[in-house]
């Protein structure tokens, strides 16, 4: 114990004088499958219930049990919910990673650890809190399996005491997490109290980190993006889902299945007003979606990188035959199998032009759980309006992590079922209808579906005339391809417009999309406060790009596009459409380590590039 004493005496001289309130990150390092998720979510929720903005990021292995996993909870009075680069308070439960976890902490951090790991010998510039987990769990239950499961609640108890997280909120959060399982609640409460009591009796507070109640989370919910997207799909009136399990998208369809079961039974017959089919692979999943879309159903699938690759051929068919479909791509790290449980924005280029031949597809780019919800509905409307596959490009960080959000608003806009031929339109067309004829000049033709009593057509992926007849004629082919390009220009006017914040004097602009948004919020504050650099910010919400984007570039001297991939994929798409002057202004900030991007990394990279110029 003498080493601990020395460390404790030396390191925290700073911490005794300084209090760091509601601005730190706790990282819990455990072994996958050890049941730590309950303890982590209870911790997250307790801080949230105290009115303090929080975010939770799970860094887990592609494994069911046995490999290391880290869960990071960030409390931020200012409301920053992107990943914080530095860990302030480590909970080291995993013997395998504990040494490295401790050694990578910055001086002044704190580490709570399982006593037998003897981590306090590793360094003397951080605060150590040894906790004898085995000793504390012994009186709680004699069942070895249960001991393993509730053991993690002990660190919640210790943290409750050390960080001043209200025990009442801990209990409330635990009850929320466990539902009505009273026996399990009692057991977990026992472990929680054991941790609290131990800390009270044996661990004097030596670190500066404190949670104090605020009122910044009132009325908010905590939700994962995949759940939010599922709710959006249900409210969008989805009637057909074809899917194939793949991390990190599986929970989207699984959540959707649960909601559909509950809320989409016909009240008169009790029968389902939807069908969900688990396909044999992603190829079949999209094939089913196109079959259903061709029939007129609101049809969707969700997938991730490898599945997207498999969907390429069918995506081209959907584009050329002009069948509505919604594809959620919950992006993960590639190439190939890559890091299936880590996050990235690496499918932008491949999704935008997925399939062979001249193809291009609208992409929606949700940044928040609320946008997962709203863009799900927009995606179905756009798919039917534009009669083409629409990709919703979310990512693992958004889809599988827990985010704060205002409650979702009930949709007021009726479903847009797009241009369907009816008797009246047919008459207006002089009874001369062509499935692929551009009547309105927007590139979108009128479609019929089987069984609607309107004229039939033959849908085919081979060359076709505007009357949907097989054709290899040069003019038929070129006219059709030009019309599809015209339709893409129409898409440009229909997709969600970017969000823009202008600097007083626009010089440096930042462009970002998706989850990168949250790092940009923090980085812009850092740039302003630490470097006196005021930036404008444009958050892209869709592809094809809208006119606002080009105007934004024109109005700035330098524009940084920040994204989470190696090859500056969105920037590449943008450069294809820029003029020379715009092109010359574009810079890139990239982040691709599998972890969500953080504000500090953006700030450092941007400042470095600004200095270099």
Pair type for strands 20-21 and 363-364: unpaired
Binding track, positions 316-355, relative to another protein; x by CB under 8 A? -x---x----------------------------------
Among 38, 46, 55, 299, binds another protein (CB under 8 A): 299
HEC secondary structure over 579-602: CHHHHHHEEEEECCCCCCCEHHHH
User: Hey, what are 142's tokens?
Assistant: 């004699």
236 binds another protein (CB under 8 A): yes
Cα distance between residue 426 and residue 417, in whole Å = 17
231 binds another protein (CB under 8 A): yes
Among 172, 264, 467, 531, binds another protein (CB under 8 A): 264
* Residue 116 to residues 93, 95, 119, 294, 333, Cα–Cα distance (Å): 10, 9, 8, 63, 36
225 binds another protein (CB under 8 A): no
Other CB atoms within a 10 A radius of the CB of residue 421 amount to 20
Binding range to another protein, per CB under 8 A, among 86-94, 195-203, 314-322, 512-520: 314-322
The end-to-end CA distance of the chain, in Å, is 54
User: Hey, what are 95's tokens?
Assistant: 């013997």
Among 66, 107, 116, 450, binds another protein (CB under 8 A): 450
Between residues 408 and 502, which has the closer beta carbon with respect to another protein? Answer: 408
Between residues 286 and 330, which has the closer beta carbon with respect to another protein? Answer: 286
Cα distance between residue 610 and residue 613, in whole Å = 6
Between residues 409 and 475, which has the closer beta carbon with respect to another protein? Answer: 409
Cα distance between residue 520 and residue 503, in whole Å = 14
Binding range to another protein, per CB under 8 A, among 95-103, 137-145, 285-293, 426-434: 285-293
* Residue 125 to residues 92, 98, 117, 159, 439, Cα–Cα distance (Å): 17, 16, 18, 20, 74
Q: Are 464 and 480 in contact (CB under 8 A)?
A: yes
Among 294, 319, 328, 488, binds another protein (CB under 8 A): 294
237 binds another protein (CB under 8 A): yes
426 binds another protein (CB under 8 A): no
Among 453, 475, 504, 505, binds another protein (CB under 8 A): 453
451 binds another protein (CB under 8 A): yes
311 binds another protein (CB under 8 A): no
473 binds another protein (CB under 8 A): no
Among 234, 252, 364, 365, binds another protein (CB under 8 A): 234
221 binds another protein (CB under 8 A): yes
Among 174, 211, 222, 520, binds another protein (CB under 8 A): 222
Binding range to another protein, per CB under 8 A, among 115-123, 155-163, 460-468, 591-599: 460-468
Cα distance between residue 102 and residue 588, in whole Å = 33
Cα-to-chain-centroid distance, residue 569:
18
User: Hey, what are 403's tokens?
Assistant: 């985010």
What does the DSSP assignment read for 159-186?
A: HHHHTT--HHHHHHHHHHHHTT-HHHHH
275 binds another protein (CB under 8 A): yes
Give residue for tokens 């860990």: 87
223 binds another protein (CB under 8 A): yes
460 binds another protein (CB under 8 A): yes
Instruction: Order across the sheet with 558-563: list the strands.
Output: 499-501, 535-540, 508-513, 558-563, 586-590
Cα distance between residue 40 and residue 57, in whole Å = 10
Binding track, positions 361-400, relative to another protein; x by CB under 8 A? ----------------------------------------
Interface residues toward another protein, by CB under 8 A: 221-223, 227, 231, 234-240, 242, 259, 263-264, 266, 269, 271-275, 277, 279-281, 283-299, 313-314, 317, 321, 407-408, 410-411, 414-415, 448-453, 455-462, 470
């Amino acid at each position: 114990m003498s080493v601990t004493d020395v460390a404790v005496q030396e390191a925290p001289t700073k911490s005794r004088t300084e209090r760091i309130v509601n601005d730190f990150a706790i990282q819990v390092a455990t072994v996958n499958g050890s049941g730590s998720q309950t303890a982590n979510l209870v911790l997250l929720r307790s801080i949230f219930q105290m009115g303090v903005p929080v975010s939770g990021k799970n860094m887990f292995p592609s494994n069911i049990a046995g490999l290391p996993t880290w869960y990071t909870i960030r409390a931020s009075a200012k409301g920053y919910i992107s990943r914080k680069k530095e860990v302030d308070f480590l909970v080291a439960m995993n013997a395998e990673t504990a040494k490295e976890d401790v050694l990578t902490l910055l001086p002044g951090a704190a580490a709570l650890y399982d006593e037998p790991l003897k981590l306090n010998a590793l360094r003397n510039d951080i605060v150590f809190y040894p906790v004898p987990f085995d000793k504390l769990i012994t009186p709680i239950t004699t069942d070895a399996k249960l001991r393993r499961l509730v053991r993690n609640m002990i660190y919640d108890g210790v943290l409750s005491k050390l960080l001043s997280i209200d025990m009442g909120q801990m209990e409330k959060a635990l009850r929320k997490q466990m539902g009505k399982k009273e026996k399990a609640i009692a057991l977990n409460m026992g472990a929680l109290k054991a941790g609290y009591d131990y800390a009270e009796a044996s661990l004097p507070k030596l670190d500066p980190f404190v949670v104090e109640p605020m009122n910044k989370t009132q009325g908010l919910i905590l939700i994962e993006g995949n759940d939010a997207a599922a709710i959006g799909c249900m409210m969008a009136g989805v009637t057909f889902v074809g899917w194939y399990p793949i991390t990190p998208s599986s929970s989207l369809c699984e959540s959707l299945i649960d909601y559909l079961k509950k809320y989409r039974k016909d009240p008169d017959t009790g029968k389902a007003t939807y069908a969900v089919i688990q396909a044999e692979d992603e190829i079949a999943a999209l094939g089913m979606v196109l079959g259903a879309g061709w029939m007129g159903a609101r049809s969707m699938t969700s997938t991730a990188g490898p599945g997207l690759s498999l969907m390429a051929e069918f995506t081209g068919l959907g584009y050329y035959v002009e069948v509505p479909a919604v594809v959620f791509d919950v992006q993960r790290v590639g190439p190939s199998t890559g890091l299936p449980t880590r996050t990235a924005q690496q499918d932008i280029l491949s999704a935008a032009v997925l399939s062979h031949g001249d193809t291009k597809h609208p992409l929606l780019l949700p940044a928040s759980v609320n946008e997962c919800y709203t863009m799900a509905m927009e995606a179905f409307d756009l798919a039917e309006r534009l009669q083409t596959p629409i990709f919703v490009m979310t990512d693992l960080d958004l889809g599988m992590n827990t985010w704060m959000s205002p409650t979702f608003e009930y949709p007021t806009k009726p479903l847009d079922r797009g241009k369907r031929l009816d008797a009246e339109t047919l008459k207006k067309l002089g009874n001369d209808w062509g499935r692929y004829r551009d009547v309105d000049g927007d590139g979108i033709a009128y479609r019929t579906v089987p069984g609607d009593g309107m004229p039939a057509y033959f849908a085919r992926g081979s060359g076709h005339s505007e009357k949907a007849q097989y054709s290899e004629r040069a003019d038929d082919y070129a006219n059709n391809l030009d019309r599809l390009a015209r339709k893409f220009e129409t898409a440009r006017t229909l997709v969600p417009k970017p969000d823009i914040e202008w600097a007083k004097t626009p010089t440096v602009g930042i462009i970002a999309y998706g989850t990168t948004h949250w790092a940009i919020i923090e980085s812009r504050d850092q740039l302003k406060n630490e470097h006196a650099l005021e930036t404008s910010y444009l958050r892209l919400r869709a592809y094809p790009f809208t006119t606002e984007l080009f105007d934004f570039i024109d109005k700035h001297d330098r524009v940084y596009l920040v994204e989470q991939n190696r090859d500056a994929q969105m920037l590449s798409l943008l450069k294809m459409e820029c003029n020379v002057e715009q092109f010359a202004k574009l810079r890139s900030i990239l982040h691709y380590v599998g972890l969500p991007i953080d504000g500090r990394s953006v700030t450092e990279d941007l400042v470095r590039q600004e200095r270099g110029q």
